[in-house]
Structure 1
């Protein structure tokens, strides 16, 4: 209702008549509030009653205060905006704590306004308030209802946010417990207690992912509630329950679209730190450009790289000792000989097979194999030496120093 309108029917009602109407309405408030609450409880028998500090139902307090404030605004000619009492925010918060939606509460508010209007209409008729003026009272009542709903939604939103923050705090505690190495072998009891506080069913197996943010403001992956996600870290972590379940890999792929990172191997729940270690090692290789980025890779798809590349110091020393004969060759010749030696070690095939693998003439392969025997001598006949040679040569290929064989 535009309260500043000059043709307002309510403003044309004589002030003594308005004051008399307001006095009668205020006198009615206590009984009217009780009547409204009784009717609400009849129509909504499952409605719980929260008591305030004095033991009075909070709903009754809210109804009474809302009526008093609305009647007060009538006496002022609806000239000043009146916000509904703060208690309606409490109603919104209670809805969250009890796990209910706002739909039923809004229906209850409408019922309360309807009942209040009936009584006010009777009083208006008793005092002789013209019908057009009372219509304006009704319009103001429904505007006031909008304010009550807005206050309730504010309290509801605040409670939802607090609840979400609390869940995230408890979830981070669970993640820390789950991903920390502990000296005790059995941590299932502690994990079960923390998981129960956020309603997380303990899985038999998990896989842990470490993520790389595509941008600082990137939206978190749209994973389900059963996936634990910690976005507070520079490199977010994710614990995926039952990663081998049907459809899980495809769901994760869609949820993490646009993100880079690595998902560690599937392990029993209490061994989650092991999965984390492999995921973190894979992310380091992604950052170095040694594993592909642009998606969340599966560690089990890159076992060779994860076994060989992180052991740089050990393999570096072995590389220097086992591949020392190549130092007598030029760079191009050394690379060709290394690729030929690796092809022979991996296939133990004949000249034709190695030539096809390398894409060179068989005569070239024969020439290179003669050079290899001259450079390494009996070492290529020793199984342990051959194994070490294959390790260091595969590591070179993984680093991009040798050509990969065709698919």
Structure 2
């Protein structure tokens, strides 16, 4: 059987409680001023923000907390649970200013100690028993915990709102960065019909002002300043594939812009060639698949994005390895040869037409031999070692190749095109 803990405060006669509460409420205005004055002496940096009536919010908060505490005691509730909402504002203000709650909590503790001294004096005046006053002190510090909780709630709200606003501004900055006009198209003055005289040229010059890259830079600088991002000289853009819908965002450095709202999250990495940057990015994106485009000047970020997106397209098709953050510059051949499928397919059809009369298996062996010869220009022994066949087999295949393509084998342009299409077929897994 559990025995209920006896409350010393509840044993105090009601008339004494009412007497104590009345005296305490009378003291509240002067006590609040005394507490604020002592706080200001201990923490002179504390800003006094006025409310809509011109009264310091800190003073209002102190007075309301004292009134609420005493009112609860007078009603017989020895564990007050009502806390003035203004303490949420105090926490919110600390969050907005980017400060921690440490100083605010120290100020609260100082205020409670000062209030307890005055309440203890009043308790002696009306002969409140010592055990009841000890219980009152315990209740006061519990009330302090509630005030801190209100401030923490306001602080968290401010932090969440600021984080959301920063992400919104960050996304706007990234979108602006990705829509900077291509510098190669500035002021050409030539449309479909070519140059059309001075008036056409001047019109083109005017149109390439604020909307061109030079005009975009001030807008970028203004948006970057709002989130504390220094405009770098060079950037690289990464495109990611989510491992799962609920996947935790990569833990990137503060200067890396990250947009997780896209179907394919994107990152803008400043100064990507800085020592150790690639390794840090790789660790931050562990568990994610994606690609990071080449390093480019800031205003060419869209180009880096385009290459990163192309690499991720190939990754989704199984043509580039997944499970890591790839560097586009390490997969240049695949990025150049695989995306223009229609062009490569048409060139393949035309350049490999001589193989139409061969069977699939023999035709593939001739392709592999031809590619080995184009890449090495070596003799039969070298090509045979590469292919794992007998040199005599290579000589036989090379004679067939010469018969099938004839004079085209002596044309540098034709040889180049043959190597392109054969390399593309190898990248697709159609040749070994």
Query: Into which bin does the TM-score normalised by the smaller protein fall?
Result: over 0.9
User: Could you tell me the TM-score, scaled by structure 2's length?
Assistant: 0.91
Q: Aligned partners of 1:119 and 1:185: how far apart in 2? A: 68
1:80 to partner: Cα distance: 6.6
Give the SS at the match of 1:12.
coil
Runs of 4 or more, structure 1, over 4 Å off, are: none
Partner Cα separation in structure 1 for residue 388 and residue 97 of structure 2? 71
- Within the alignment, does 1:151 sit opposite 2:150 as a pair? yes
Q: C-alpha separation between the residues in 1 aligned to 2:68 and 2:38?
A: 21
Q: Unaligned stretches of 5+ in structure 1?
A: none
**C-alpha offsets along residues 80-122 of structure 1, whole Å, 9 cap, x if unaligned?**
7432100000000010112211011111101000000000000
Do residues 106 (structure 1) and 105 (structure 2) align? yes
Distance 2:82 2:350 in 1: 83
Shift of 1:188: 1.4
**Contact (CA 8 Å) 2:79, 2:139: kept in 1 or not?**
no
Residue 243, structure 1, aligned to residue 272, structure 2:
yes
Alignment of 1:290 with 2:319, yes or no, is yes
In structure 2, list runs of 5 or more residues that go unmatched: 182-210
Per-residue Cα deviation, 1:201-246 (whole angstroms, up to 9, x for no partner)? 1111100011000011110001011000000011101111111100
Aligned pairs for 1:25-104 within 5 A: 25-78=24-77, 81-104=80-103
Per the alignment, residue 125 of structure 2 pairs with 126
SS in 1 for 2:363: helix
1:138-166 deviation line (CA, Å, top 9, x unaligned): 11101100100111101111110001000
Secondary structure of 1:283 counterpart: helix
Shift of 1:79: 5.0
8 A Cα contact 1:69 1:82, kept in partner: no
Aligned length: 400
How far 1:7 sits from its partner (Å)?
Answer: 2.5
Pairwise CA distance, 1:316: 1.0
Contact 1:113 1:141 in 2 (8 A): yes
Structure 1 counterpart SS, 2:6: coil
**In 1, Cα distance between equivalents of 2:232 and 2:428:** 37
1:137 aligns with 2:140: no
- Conservation of the 8 A alpha-carbon contact between 1:205 and 1:268: yes
CA distance in 2 between partners of 1:249 and 1:21 (Å)? 69
In the alignment, the residues of structure 1 paired with residue 148 and residue 289 of structure 2 have an alpha-carbon distance, to the nearest angstrom, of 43
C-alpha separation between the residues in 2 aligned to 1:266 and 1:257?
21
> Which residue pairs with 1:300 in the alignment?
329
For 1:7-406, what aligned pairs fall within 5 Å after superposition? 7-78=6-77, 81-182=80-181, 184-186=212-214, 187-403=216-432
